Amino acid sequence: MKKNLTIWAILALSTIGFIDSVYLALKILLSSPITCSAFGGGCDIVAQSKYSAIVGVPLSMLGVLFYAAIIIGITYYLQRRTIKSLEWIAYGLLFGGLFSIYLLALQAFVIEAWCLYCVVADAIGIANALLAIRLLRMK
């Protein structure tokens, strides 16, 4: 019972993460370049920083793929119920969580600006990782 709840929680969070990443990715892709905000809020600063992409791929795009993969992975698990698939998901989420912490640290200490949408995605990444740890301890 607890296991199912945890899995549905991960699915719900990942769906929000997916929506958030899609929004951010499309906003960045479609409006170019992003105007410089007059207020502290730094989505433009973060998006224009050199940390915003890996090998040319915007991080938001990677976020979209990551959360889509989690959603697909969980859907697969819910059908087949193999331990292996659950493990894959859990470790994937752990990695995602670590990466999210890294991205939050970048915003806080290196870029020194926060982007709300990135923070949301990162928070979900960390929450998911915690749920994944819970899952792993359950077996």
Partner 1 sequence: MSNKGKEILTWVVLAIGLSAIVAGIYGAVAQPGEIGKEAGSLVAPVTATDKTKGSAAAKVTVVEYSDFECPACSYFYGMLKKLEEEKGDAVRIVYRHFPLPRHRYARITAQAAEAAGMQGKFWEMHDMLFEKQKEWSRSEDIQGILIGYASAIGIDTALFINDLKRADIDEKIDRDMALGVEQKIEGTPTFFLNGNMIQFRSYEELKQLVEAELSK
Torsion region of 53: left, alpha or beta (phi above 0 gives left; psi -120 to 50 gives alpha): beta
Nearer to partner 1, 4 or 32 (CB): 32
Which residues within the stretch 35-54 sit at the binding site for partner 1 (CB under 8 A)? 35-39, 44-45, 48
- 61-90: which residues touch partner 1 (CB under 8 A)? 68, 71-72, 75, 79
Q: Does 27 bind partner 1 (CB under 8 A)?
A: yes
Residue 93: both structure tokens together: 């989420």
Binding status of residue 111 toward partner 1 by CB under 8 A: no
Residue 34 touches partner 1, criterion: CB under 8 A: yes
CB neighbours of residue 122 within 10 Å: 25
Q: Does 22 bind partner 1 (CB under 8 A)?
A: yes
Is 130 within 8 Å of 47 (Cβ atoms)?
A: no
SS3 41: coil
Q: Which residue from 70, 60, 69 is spatially nearest to 131, judged by alpha carbons? A: 70
Q: With binding defined as CB under 8 A, does residue 32 bind partner 1? A: yes
Interaction between residue 109 and partner 1 (CB under 8 A) = no
Cβ-based neighbour number of residue 136 at 10 Å: 14
* Interface residues toward partner 1, by CB under 8 A: 18-19, 22-23, 26-27, 30-39, 44-45, 48, 68, 71-72, 75, 79, 113
